[in-house]
Structure 1
Amino acid sequence: MISANGWSRRGLLAGTAILTAGGAAAAKEDRLADGVVILIDSNEPYVMGHAISYSANLSKHFAERGARLLIEVVANGKGIDVFRADKTPLVEPLAALRQSVPNLTYSMCASSKTIAEAKEQISIPLISGANLVPFGIGRVVDLQLKGWAYIHA
């Protein structure tokens, strides 16, 4: 739902005044979402880069407020390239980010990986620290149902 001022009531932080109009929402300003899930479904370098910078910026933003926010980056479809050791242009930035943000998880859609492996006739290696989830979009929905905010990179 969009409020009169144009802000979504289901913004980045569920129930907060940060991205919602004032009024009753302002009273909930200190209630953070349990975490943020960022979906990458494109293999465009700038999209992958945005997801990484979003993760770093969110972590810094909440650390400055004394809060620890859980962040999970989920790669689905063509977006799995971000966590492919044989294709990602971001091996070093991803490794550095995982070192600096301990509450960050990288997840790759196993279904998308299987489809890509069949199409390319290879076994796809994952970057260090990346995990497989059965279905990327299913993981996103599971986290949203648990109160996580959603960002599409």
Structure 2
Amino acid sequence: MISAWSRRSLLAGTAVLTTGGAAAAKEDRLSEGVAILIDSNESYVMGHAISYSANLAKHFAERGAKLLIEVIANGKGIDVFRADKSPLIEPLATMRQSLPNLNYSMCASSKTIAEAKEQITIPLIPGANLVPFGIGRVVDLQLKGWAYIHA
């Protein structure tokens, strides 16, 4: 039998699984949301994570389901939500307008470390929020029943 923890945990870039027991393995069971973690500043990784958001929203909308999605930037991945560095400022803004259930979160700890290293204040893109610890946010959401994707 697969443990609840195993059902909630996803491997990088794999399909979204549902939470709950075998009887709860229905497509409409994913009612909480999906957390997508970005911890790389590689453009293609950031782009894939944002693409996952759009594809998931479309996938569940076609089934009449409302899905909450939170993209969480941690470590070097915070570049995705930096107004001074993000290669995706326009696509991120467009997605936020078209997907009201999409949230962007940046790890405040990673931001503080980067600011100290670079000796600057890092500006966030519009719509991005700070969370104390990116990885802590991922775990908090998983404990609430959210699925997890590591981009």
Q: TM-score, normalised to structure 1's length?
A: 0.86
Q: Does the 8 Å CA contact 2:7/2:17 hold for their aligned counterparts?
A: no
Report the counterpart of residue 112 of structure 2 in structure 1: 114
Report the counterpart of residue 101 of structure 1 in structure 2: 99
SS in 1 for 2:103: strand
CA drift at 1:141: 0.3
The answer on 1:133 being equivalent to 2:137 is no
Q: Which runs of 4 or more aligned residues in structure 1 lie more than 6 Å from their structure 2 counterparts after TM superposition? A: none
CA drift at 1:43: 0.1
What does the per-residue CA deviation read over 1:71-116, in whole Å, with 9 as the maximum and x for residues that have no partner? 0000000000000000000000000000110000000000000000
CA drift at 1:31: 1.3
How many angstroms apart in 2 are the aligned matches of 1:37 and 1:86?
24
Report the counterpart of residue 17 of structure 2 in structure 1: 13
The structure number with the bigger radius of gyration is: 1
How many angstroms apart in 2 are the aligned matches of 1:9 and 1:120?
40
Higher relative contact order by CA 8 Å / sep ≥ 6: 1 or 2? 2
How many angstroms apart in 2 are the aligned matches of 1:15 and 1:86?
38
Report the counterpart of residue 69 of structure 1 in structure 2: 67
How many angstroms apart in 1 are the aligned matches of 2:42 and 2:36?
15
CA drift at 1:15: 3.3
Equivalent pairs, count: 142
Stretches of structure 2 lacking an aligned partner (at least 5 in a row): 11-15
Partner AA of 1:28 in structure 2: A
Q: TM-score, normalised to structure 2's length?
A: 0.87
How many angstroms apart in 2 are the aligned matches of 1:135 and 1:15?
24
Report the counterpart of residue 28 of structure 1 in structure 2: 25
Partner AA of 2:32 in structure 1: D
CA RMSD of aligned residues (A): 1.9
CA drift at 1:70: 0.2
What does the per-residue CA deviation read over 1:107-149, in whole Å, with 9 as the maximum and x for residues that have no partner? 0000000000000000000000000000000000000000000
